[in-house]
Amino acid sequence: MFLATRTDNRDIVYGEKSAEFVLNEMYIPPDTKIATDDGSVGFCGNVCELLTELEPAPIFACGPTPMLKKLTEISRQWNVQAFFSMESRMACGFGACNGCVIHTIDGYKKVCSDGPIFPAQMLKEF
């Protein structure tokens, strides 16, 4: 949301399972496109399905790994860059325990201290 409120010419896409999980509107920037899996609010479907209806643009995302993998596919089809805020369980939070590592093309990286933002093309198995 921080990035979304500080960039122009962008589409913000936000998805949830259903209306009961959607954030209070005070936390959602104006003009945000909402998708719910059951169609109870906004677009009926997931954010990846909604995204493919929009104009190609660089992708910035956070969320579950299967969604990020699909967004990587979309970014390749669109020939745009994608950047993901990765999630991982953290013990120390400052780079000492290696508990939060993810596999990248440059070896294992710590989400807490090397990230949390990583280019999609850097992520292994994406």
Please give the residue ranges that form the binding site for ligand FES (CB under 6 A).
90-93, 95-100, 110, 112
Q: Residue 28 or 90: which CB sits closer to ligand FES?
A: 90
Q: Residue 58 or 93: which CB sits closer to ligand FES?
A: 93
Rounded to the nearest whole angstrom, what is the least distance from the CB of residue 101 to ligand FES in the complex?
A: 7
What is the Cα Rg of the chain in Å?
16
Classify the phi-psi angles of 93: left when phi > 0, otherwise alpha if psi is within -120 to 50, otherwise beta: left
Residue 107 phi, psi (nearest 5):
95, -165
* Beta-carbon count within 10 A of 48 CB: 20
Tokens of 17: 């399972």
Q: Residue 80 or 97: which CB sits closer to ligand FES?
A: 97
Rounded to the nearest whole angstrom, what is the least distance from the CB of residue 116 to ligand FES in the complex?
A: 10
Rounded to the nearest whole angstrom, what is the least distance from the CB of residue 60 to ligand FES in the complex?
A: 22
Q: Residue 44 or 92: which CB sits closer to ligand FES?
A: 92
Rounded to the nearest whole angstrom, what is the least distance from the CB of residue 94 to ligand FES in the complex?
A: 7
C-alpha dihedral, 118 to 119 to 120 to 121, nearest 10°: -130
